[in-house]
Each structure stands twice: as C-alpha cells, then as structure tokens.
C-alpha cells in the first residue's frame, strides 16, 4: 500500500519520475537489493530489482521497475481486482482526471494530475488505501 507522503508526492508531480516509479514499486511488493556472495564467491556490487513474489530472476538497476508515472499500461497493472477505470482529459489537455470504482459506484476514487498515468496512479492508490482491512 502507498503511504500518504507518496500519495502527496504523486499529487504534486508535474511529469514522469523514475524516483517515484521506484517508490511505487517498493510500495507494491518489489524489492531492491544487492546479490550476496554464496560460499565465498559471486555476489554483485550493483543493486538489483526483483518483482513481487519472484524468487529467481533479477532486473538490473539501470532497467529498474516499470515506468509507472510515464506509461498508462504500467500504471494499470496496479489496478485492484474488481475495479473499473475511467480516464478523461480536460481543457486544457494538460490536465487528466481518472476515476476508479467498483460495479456498485458506491465509492469513486478520483485522481487529477498533469499526465494520464499519474492521474491513474492517484485514483488507484486512493482506492487501495480505502480498501485496507
């Protein structure tokens, strides 16, 4: 889940950010670590990323996690199960609005941002935050 400080940073973002992508990844189960030497050999001085629930494969630091703040497709991979997403552009077209909701429309979570991907992330993270048990 995303903490309030990350949600605040998403709300104030003016464009894509690899730093925010990393924070979003960590908040959604990714890990960032260095490979440790085994039996006195191996290991690596460079950190690696690992996908959630992955135990075998590593992603090199320079590739990093998905570009959540840049890509609509990447942002949508974080959509909670059972939610629908509606994305709208406003005038001027530099403002995007996204709503996340379930079938009953009882709770609608809205995100407004400079880019469509960030608007999606805000709406999704608000829905996740409210869905905490």
Does residue 96 contact residue 90 with C-beta atoms inside 8 Å? yes
The predicted pLDDT at position 7 comes to 92
The predicted pLDDT at position 132 comes to 67
Task: Rounding to the nearest 10 degrees, give the CA dihedral for residues 84, 88, 8, 133.
Answer: -10
pLDDT at 17 over 90: yes
Could you tell me the fold of the domain covering 1-16+68-133?
A: Double Stranded RNA Binding Domain (3.30.160)
Q: Which letter does DSSP use for residue 89 in this model? A: E
Report how far residue 127's alpha carbon sits from residue 130's, in angstroms, rounded to the nearest whole number: 5
Tokens of 100: 């996340």
Query: At 109, phi and psi to the nearest 5?
Result: -110, 125
* Number of residues that make up the chain: 133
3-state secondary structure of 46: coil
Write the pLDDT tens digit of every residue in 82-128: 899 999 877 666 688 899 998 777 789 999 898 999 999 999 999 98
Residues 41-61, mean pLDDT to the nearest whole number: 76
């Amino acid at each position: 889940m995303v903490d309030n400080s990350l949600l605040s940073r998403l709300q104030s973002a003016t464009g894509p950010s690899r730093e925010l992508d990393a924070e979003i990844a960590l908040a959604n189960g990714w890990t960032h670590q260095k490979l440790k030497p085994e039996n006195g050999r191996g290991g690596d001085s460079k950190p690696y990323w690992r996908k959630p629930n992955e135990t075998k494969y590593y992603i090199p630091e320079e590739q990093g996690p998905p570009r959540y703040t840049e890509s609509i497709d990447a942002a949508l991979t974080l959509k909670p199960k059972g939610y629908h997403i509606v994305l709208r552009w406003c005038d001027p077209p530099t403002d995007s609005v996204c709503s996340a909701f379930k079938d009953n429309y009882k709770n609608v979570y809205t995100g407004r941002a400079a880019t469509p991907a960030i608007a999606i992330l805000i709406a999704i993270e608000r829905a996740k935050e409210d869905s905490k048990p």
